[in-house]
Structure 1
Amino acid sequence: MKTKPKKFKEIDTQDKVQLVAEWLDEKQATEVTAVDVQGICPIAEVVMVAGAKGVRHAQALADFILEQLAKDNIEYLGLEGYKSGDWILLDLNDIIVHIFQEDNRGFYNVEGLWSEGTRIKLNIQPQA
């Protein structure tokens, strides 16, 4: 019996986290963080959070991630909040990416919700 070819490229979660962090950094997202939530989150292995300087910036960050995923043939499952741009959520199957307006980020405190998780060191330069 022939196995069906994979539709999407298989990529290690940690490698995908680093790629997404680099994409966010390239488009000047602020305070990009990643938290390993394996064992405490039933729907993802990693939660990433990034700040945006405005609605159009948040939408541009989401657009760029989706473009890069398509270019690299990496699966994504869904997108929420794009129209308002206050809080955009991208579901990359094993990674959930939250893009917040800078003033909303503290209010929702997603990093605090997952404080039991372990911060992942990202190889990007912190934005000033």
Structure 2
Amino acid sequence: MEDKIGQIATWLADKKGTAIRALDVRGISPLTEAMVFVTARSARHAQALADEIMQRLGEKKWEFFGVEGLQAGQWVLVDCNDVIVHIFQDETRSLYNVEGLYSKAADFELPEAVLAGEK
């Protein structure tokens, strides 16, 4: 699963997603094992990030169950089975503070290339 999270984070960073964070929610959330959070600049950027994730998952033949919020682009959720990707616009990410619900979750270590883009 760590490989999948690293790959997803890299795809998001390559498409200029920011503030990428991955949480290990095993034992905390009954829905999934990990959550990845990313901030998009606009609705169109959020949609492009979601499209990239879905296309790349398909190329790798990794299943995904669906996507929610794609039309509005404020908060797009991509359900990748064991990983849920939350794509937020900045103000929506702050407003809902979904990461705060999982404050006991440990962060997954992300690839250096992803972290380098944050500087």
Q: In structure 1, how many angstroms separate the alpha carbons of the residues matched to 2:53 and 2:35?
A: 15
C-alpha distance in structure 1 between counterparts of 2:43 and 2:10, whole Å: 20
Flag as ranges the 4+ runs of structure 1 deviating above 6 A: none
Deviations 1:7-43 (A, max 9, x none): xxxxxx1110000000000000010000000001001
Higher helix share: 2
Q: Which runs of 5+ in 2 are unaligned?
A: none
Q: Measure, in 1, the Cα distance between the counterparts of 2:117 and 2:99.
A: 17
Q: How many residues get paired? A: 116
> 1:126 Cα shift?
3.7
Question: Hey, what's the Cα distance between the residues in 1 that align with 2:14 and 2:49?
Answer: 9
Deviation readout 1:60-113 (Å, 9 max, x if unpaired):
000001111111111101100000000000000000110000111111111111
**Percent identity of the aligned residues?**
43
User: Do the aligned partners of 1:49 and 1:97 also contact (CA within 8 Å) in 2?
Assistant: yes
CA contact (8 A) 1:89 1:98 kept: yes
* Corresponding residue of 1:77: 65
- Separation in structure 2 between the aligned mates of residue 47 and residue 116 of structure 1, nearest angstrom: 13
TM-score if structure 1 supplies the norm length?
A: 0.88
SS at match of 1:107: helix
Structure 1 match to 2:42: 54
RMSD of equivalent CA atoms: 0.8
Instruction: Find the structure with the greater CA-based Rg.
Output: 1
Q: What secondary structure does 1:121 align onto? A: coil
Counterpart residue type for residue 36 of structure 2: M
Aligned counterpart, 1:127: 118
Per-residue deviation at 1:121? Answer: 1.4
Instruction: Determine helix, strand or coil for the equivalent of 1:33.
Output: strand
1:113 aligns with 2:101: yes
TM-score, normalised to structure 2's length?
Answer: 0.94
Equivalent in the alignment of 1:23: 11
Cα distance in 1 for residues equivalent to 2:27 and 2:117:
28
